[in-house]
């Protein structure tokens, strides 16, 4: 008689499953019609903004012009001058100043260029003789002696046409920005009322603070431009006067205006001053070139970050990075608008009381929020039943009072 087998003596053998039967976790992505519509709308908005970039830059430039002219218009209105007349006086004064600068600078520069062109063969021979004294500069001196302008002009024709087209576009956009600024200044009250009409009344005080701070930013930016341009003009005038170069005042005025343009101001200031000094002597031209180059480096590396950093309340590193980013994206116009845009971003982060991820509880921020709430309650009580334009004017007055 066999003993009963224990069930543990024989274990069931594993059965090999086919590979298709092994289930692996899969990630399923479902695109809903709503998400598809949102993605298409975002793509369309990005495409439209890229196409409308020149128009947006014109609008931003016009708003900056209005913000610049607004304090003068307001000052005239306080002295019992009607708004239309005040706008006409301010814009006419701006036009007269521009015409006066062009009248002072352009004829003198044209005369200087004509004089240099007439002396070109003699100046080129002197420069070649000067370079031939040094062994390493002999190839350059030989190139100057055998220089032919025909092939150079033929090769640079396409570039000159492209530059002329870009210059015409910039001038056209500038004129459009001035006229748009004029219309915005004339219809300022209605436009402000329309802006406040589409914003909830609970946010009117905050919107008023933002608009006031934008005016402060534009004012600080223009002060920085005025300081750097004035320093450039004074430096050029003193340098050329000490070197005995004629037309020093006209060249200095042109250099001060050209200093406003980022990146190309380096060439628009150094080349005219050096050419003007070259008409006097080679050694004078070398001295002027070296000193202008040194001052340009000092201005771009130290003066601009320091002046604009204090005027716009931004770190100097942010000033330099904003200039580089704006110039990379939209060239000269982008570099011109980079600093106000960067300062506006800093201001919005502060005014909207945005709590950044790395920040902790802040007693001062909480006090500001409580003060904002009291100001908004006061505005809601006083603005009850008022139309949009009058409510906007009231919000601006309350914001100005609290800023003071």
Average pLDDT over residues 113-127: 73
pLDDT of residue 161: 74
Q: How far is CA 386 from the centre of its chain?
A: 38
Provide the 8-state DSSP code for 20: G
Report whether pLDDT(9) > 70. Answer: no
Buried b / exposed e over 130-153, threshold 16 CB at 10 Å, is ebeeeeeeeeebeebeeeeeeeee
What band does 235 get if pLDDT is binned at 50, 70 and 90? Answer: very high
For 131-135, 300-304, 354-358, 390-394, which range has the lowest pLDDT when averaged over its residues? Answer: 354-358
| Residue bearing the bigger pLDDT, 284 or 127 | 284
Report whether pLDDT(87) > 80. Answer: yes
188 contacts: CB under 8 Å, gap ≥ 6: 66, 70
What band does 121 get if pLDDT is binned at 50, 70 and 90? Answer: confident
Maximum average pLDDT range among 24-28, 47-51, 285-289, 354-358: 285-289
392 contacts: CB under 8 Å, gap ≥ 6: 192, 193, 195, 196, 204, 208
For 167-171, 183-187, 249-253, 345-349, which range has the lowest pLDDT when averaged over its residues? Answer: 167-171
Report whether pLDDT(112) > 80. Answer: no
Q: Are 141 and 293 in contact (CB under 8 A)?
A: no
pLDDT above 70: percentage of residues in the chain: 86
3-state DSSP helix/strand/coil % of the chain, to nearest 5: 80, 0, 20
Average pLDDT over residues 89-118: 81
Q: Considering the entire predicted model, what is its pTM?
A: 0.69
**127, exposed or middle or buried, with CB in 10 Å at 0-12, 13-18, 19+?**
middle
Report whether pLDDT(250) > 90. Answer: no
pLDDT of residue 249: 82
| Residue bearing the bigger pLDDT, 65 or 144 | 65
pLDDT of residue 27: 58
pLDDT of residue 64: 81
pLDDT of residue 239: 93
What band does 238 get if pLDDT is binned at 50, 70 and 90? Answer: very high
What value does the mean pLDDT of the chain take? 79
| Residue bearing the bigger pLDDT, 142 or 252 | 252
pLDDT of residue 242: 92
What band does 236 get if pLDDT is binned at 50, 70 and 90? Answer: very high
Report whether pLDDT(114) > 60. Answer: yes
pLDDT of residue 34: 76
Cα–Cα dist 27/41, whole Å: 26
| Residue bearing the bigger pLDDT, 76 or 170 | 76
What band does 217 get if pLDDT is binned at 50, 70 and 90? Answer: confident
Cα–Cα dist 248/243, whole Å: 10
Cα–Cα dist 348/354, whole Å: 8
Question: How many C-beta atoms lie closer than 10 Å to residue 53's C-beta?
Answer: 14
| Residue bearing the bigger pLDDT, 198 or 50 | 198
User: Sign of the C-alpha dihedral, residues 164, 167, 171, 177?
Assistant: positive
The three-point CA angle 387-209-85 to 5° equals 65
| Residue bearing the bigger pLDDT, 328 or 293 | 293
pLDDT of residue 231: 92
| Residue bearing the bigger pLDDT, 84 or 142 | 84
* HSE-up (13 A, CA, CB side) for residue 70: 21
Average pLDDT over residues 104-114: 76
Cα–Cα dist 58/108, whole Å: 31
Q: How many residues does the chain have?
A: 404
Rounded alpha-carbon distances, angstroms, from residue 220 to 71, 87, 333, 338, 369: 13, 22, 18, 14, 26
């Amino acid at each position: 008689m066999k003993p009963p087998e224990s069930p543990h003596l024989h274990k069931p053998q594993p059965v090999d499953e086919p590979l298709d039967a092994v289930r692996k976790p899969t990630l399923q992505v479902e695109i809903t019609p709503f998400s598809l519509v949102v993605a298409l709308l975002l793509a369309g908005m990005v495409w439209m903004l890229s196409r409308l970039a020149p128009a947006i830059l014109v609008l931003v430039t016009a708003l900056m012009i209005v913000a610049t002219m607004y304090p003068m218009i307001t000052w005239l209105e306080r002295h019992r001058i009607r708004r239309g007349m005040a706008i006409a006086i301010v814009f006419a004064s701006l036009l007269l100043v521009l015409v006066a600068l062009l009248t002072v600078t352009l004829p003198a520069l044209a005369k200087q260029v004509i004089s240099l062109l007439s002396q070109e063969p003699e100046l080129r021979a002197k420069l070649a003789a000067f370079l031939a004294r040094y062994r390493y500069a002999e190839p350059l001196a030989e190139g100057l002696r055998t220089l032919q302008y025909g092939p150079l002009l033929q090769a640079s024709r396409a570039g000159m046409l492209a530059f002329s087209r870009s210059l015409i576009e910039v001038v056209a956009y500038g004129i459009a920005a001035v006229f748009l600024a004029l219309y915005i200044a004339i219809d300022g009250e209605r436009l402000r009322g329309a802006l406040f009409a589409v914003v909830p009344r609970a946010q009117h005080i905050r919107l008023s603070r933002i608009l006031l701070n934008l005016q402060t930013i534009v004012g600080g930016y223009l002060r920085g431009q005025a300081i750097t341009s004035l320093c450039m003009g004074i430096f050029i005038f003193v340098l050329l006067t000490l070197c005995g170069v004629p037309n020093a005042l006209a060249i200095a005025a042109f250099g001060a205006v050209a200093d406003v343009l980022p990146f190309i101001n380096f060439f628009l200031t150094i080349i005219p001053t050096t050419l003007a000094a070259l008409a006097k002597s080679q050694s004078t031209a070398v001295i002027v070139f070296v000193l202008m180059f040194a001052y340009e480096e000092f201005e771009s590396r130290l003066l601009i970050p320091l002046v604009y950093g204090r005027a716009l309340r931004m770190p100097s590193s942010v000033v330099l990075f904003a200039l580089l980013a704006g110039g990379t994206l939209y060239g000269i116009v982008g570099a011109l608008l980079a600093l106000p845009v960067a300062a506006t971003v800093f201001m919005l982060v502060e005014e909207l009381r945005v709590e950044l991820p790395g920040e902790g509880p802040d007693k001062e921020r909480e006090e500001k929020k409580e003060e904002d709430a009291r100001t908004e309650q006061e505005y809601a009580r006083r603005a009850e039943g008022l139309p949009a334009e009058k409510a906007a004017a009231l919000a601006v007055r309350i914001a100005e009072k609290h800023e003071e």
